[in-house]
Structure 1
Amino acid sequence: MTDLRTLLDSFVEWHLDAYPVRATLLGATGREDTLGDQSAAAWTRRDAETRAWLDRFAAVGDAGLSLDDSVDRDLVLSTLRGEVILADEPEWRRDPGVYVGPILSGLFTLFLHRLRPEADLVASAVARLREVPGVLAAAKANLDASISPALVVKRALGQARSARAFLTTALPGEVSDESLRRGLVEAAGPAADAFDEFATWLAEFAERAKGDWRLGERKYSALLRERELLGYGATELHERGKAVYAELDAEMRELATKVPGGSEDWHAVMAALQNDHPPTLEAMREEYAAETERARRFLIDNDLVPFAEGEQCRVVPSPGFQRPILSVAFYIAPPPLTTSRLGHFFVPFTPEEFTEEQVRQRLATNARAQMPTIAVHEAYPGHHWHLSWMAGGERTVRKLFRTPYFSEGWALYAERLLNENGYFADPAHELAHLDARIFRAARIVVDTALHCGEMSIEEAEQHMATKASLTPGTAVGEVNRYCAWPTQAPSYLTGSLEIEKIRADYLAAGRGDVRSFNATIAGSGALPLGLARRVALGG
């Protein structure tokens, strides 16, 4: 339908112009020289425009729309409705990370993807560096201590304190030409000074911050229903998490007896397995690289999925500016608006200031028994396979907007898929696979309870340290993330279970085999699960 497609094209251009750092991540060119207007007036204008776009898409009826067109429309509607649900306390007034994160990632991704000649990349980086003092000044003017949670502010503070080393050392280290590197170092100095001053200000601001990090049951349930298009709210999700946890607990008790020296106490068995880990952070990266290649070969040998032409997954250390806020492995996809199919699996290195014991705990949380599952999740056929495959799709709007309830759900489904096909043949590996799944069940229970006011942070940390195989230090980092990122933690297992249901219906309807299901649903994007069901089942 021409009118909808014209509307979609206009919306995509508006979004990329409004959020130039995100445009860089997606591979859209022409916006690399700016971080965007971060003034209160600009944010207020964008908020108003978001509501106007919502009204325009809501006015598009079903008449004359193909299935794909209606899915595109509903994807935009669900995205915009999610933003409106949170609009009474907008992130740009409560979270310093809204400013800090895009500055650092906007510089990092320029050189990660290297879509242009080095001289052009440096020119864009210099232009963005010159905007840093103004962006941080806008942050100070915009942030409201009455609604900013101290916990959220302190997360951004950790990133702000890592900025100088990143800007003055790591970023110039990406440049091979000496004269270009000198220019980048010169531009980085004032930006680093601005970050130092901002970090000092944030430390004081954190003392004044009185906002509540809890989302509340009403907003939590509204996001599940209206943004994620699930047919239930926070209470039912919480109960589902508890039920699946109990099922997995029983399964793991039986399996743990098959591990050499094991018993029904799977917690103790997993704790013992965590003593076998790589000796150093770099050794951990090397072992992850080997596991990533093994998983890819298994997919080929068993013909479980097709592959995007030219796809490649690099296994690299996590960037320094992410280490204070992310304690687990993560992935950055190929820029989907380009022909690149090169993705990056980031291994969770620790911040420089970590003690020897904190480093040991990080290594233990990435034990050799656990590494096969994590590599499957992050790379093959998890995030890298999925996002490199979907990048070849024709629907532009689906490349811009994706929900973790599909993308993280897919990665957990990928673990299940390989287990069904015998990949985790070693009982220790299979137990670790189930441990990763029960960990996600515990996340559902904790995240819903935290944000609905039924669990304290201390109780949540204890729950994650005893109900999952997390070291105490990692449990603290996990819960901090849940508090700052409501509804994301349940996405993994919730999404996996929903995808498994869709697959069962797909196979029962005779629409194809498992390989064709994987290609179809993963190739459709990372849609809210209600929309993914419509695509897979044809209506």
Structure 2
Amino acid sequence: MRGIAGASISAPGPFEPQANTYYNVTPLDGLTPEQAESYLQEYNQWMLQILNIHEAIPGHYSQLLYANQSPSLVRSILANGAMIEGWAVYAERMMLEQGYGDYEPELWLMYWKWNLRVIANTLLDYGVHVQGMSEAQAMALLTEEAFQQQQEAAEKWRRVTLSQVQLTSYYAGFREIYDLRQAIKSSLGSQFDLKAFHHQFLSYGSAPVGQIRRLMMAPVAAQAAATSKSQ
């Protein structure tokens, strides 16, 4: 169950939606005192708040809860990884934009470090699996350019050697979701409602963001055209 991530969510599937959701945190029992200290320096009190938004509320826990309520079993069972990870990353920024943490500069600083991690994940995955990036090059990218602690970087190297593509899904999904929100907000202007956007977006289950965009933009375009015609 430990897998290759420090924290994760084990959510029930659509055939048992009322089952428990488990928030998994990998213990540090396999690390030396020096490795444990390095790891905990990475996950300080500010970073942990962002991690909790990502994994729990309104990140993975909320999104997967909504997915189980979707009328389409196909969209719930055949989940799109970029949509799932993208939503969790989007939730981090959205929460801080809406005032979580009272705009504390330390929290925003850690958010931007976390955001840099998402981008570095994409570069790392592509670099290793397409361009033949070495371990030394990967560690330099993560520690010197993304400012990660040594233990975090070492764990990420292990993760990228045991997986492929998944590390790219975070930024890819986030970018699509954020751009969709901005496009709808631009079209609707003062009529845009953030809560309504979230409810509608999550109602489609874990479908690819491109398909969700098509479904959400069609009525927005029609509304904008009707408003323009009436004017």
Give 2:6's match in structure 1, choosing from 312, 328, 335: 328
Contact kept, 8 Å, 1:521 with 1:535, in 2: the verdict is: no
Q: Which is greater in Rg?
A: 1
Using CA pairs under 8 Å that are at least 6 residues apart, name the structure with larger relative contact order, 1 or 2.
2
State the partner residue of 1:347.
25
What runs of 5+ residues in structure 2 fail to find an aligned partner?
220-231
* TM-score (ref. length: structure 2): 0.86
Q: CA deviation at 1:463?
A: 0.9
Q: Which residue of structure 2 lines up, in the alignment, with residue 368 of structure 1?
A: 45
- The one-character-per-residue Cα deviations of 1:442-490 (angstroms, maximum 9, x if unpaired) are 1111211111125212211221122224221221210221232211112
Q: Could you tell me how far apart the structure 2 residues matched to 1:421 and 1:522 are? A: 19
Match of 1:416 in 2: 93
Name 1:506's counterpart in structure 2.
184
Equivalent positions of 1:178-257 (< 5 A) are none
Q: Find the residue that maps to 2:21 and give its secondary structure.
A: strand
User: Runs of 5+ in structure 1 lacking a partner?
Assistant: 1-320
Aligned to 1:460: 138
Mapping for residues 277-288 of structure 1, pairs under 5 Å: none
1:394 to 47, 52, 71: 71
Q: How far apart, in 2, do the equivalents of 1:525 and 1:467 lie?
A: 36
Q: Do the aligned partners of 2:81 and 2:166 also contact (CA within 8 Å) in 1? A: yes
State the AA in 1 paired with 2:84: S
Say yes or no: does 1:538 pair with 2:214.
no
How many correspondences in the alignment? 216
Q: Find 2:57's aligned residue among 349, 365, 380.
A: 380
**Residue in structure 2 matching 1:437, options 84, 106, 115:** 115
Deviations 1:475-508 (A, max 9, x none): 1210221232211112112211110111122223
* Residues in 2 aligned to 1:418 and 1:506: alpha-carbon distance in whole angstroms: 19
- Contact 1:337 1:399 (8 Å CA) reproduced: no
**Separation in 1, partners of 2:215, 2:160:** 31
Task: State the SS of the aligned residue for 1:354.
Answer: coil
Aligned to 2:201: 521
Q: Distance in 2 between matches of 1:471 and 1:436?
A: 12
- TM-score by length of structure 1 reads 0.38
Q: Is 1:494 paired with 2:172?
A: yes
Instruction: Give the whole-Å Cα distance in 2 for the aligned partners of 1:339 and 1:385.
Output: 13
Q: 1:407 aligns with which of 84, 105, 108?
A: 84
2-side partners of 1:395 and 1:460: how far apart? Answer: 41
Cα distance in 2 for partners of 1:443, 1:479 equals 10
Q: Distance in 1 between matches of 2:185 and 2:104?
A: 29
CA distance in 2, matches of 1:519, 1:341: 22
Q: Quote the Cα distance in structure 2 between the aligned partners of 1:371 and 1:473.
A: 16
| SS of equivalent residue, structure 2 residue 166 | coil
Q: 1:501 to 1:327 in 2, by over 3 A?
A: closer
Contact 1:386 1:523 in 2 (8 A): no
Matched residue, 1:449 = 127
2:223 maps to none
CA deviation profile, 1:348-400 (whole Å, cap 9, x unmatched) = 312x3422222222222211121111110011110001111221111011111
- CA contact under 8 A between 2:82 and 2:208: conserved in structure 1? yes
Cα distance between partner residues in 1 of 2:51 and 2:19? 21
Query: How far apart in 2 are the matches of 1:427 and 1:326?
Result: 31
Structure 1 runs (4+) deviating above 6 angstroms are none
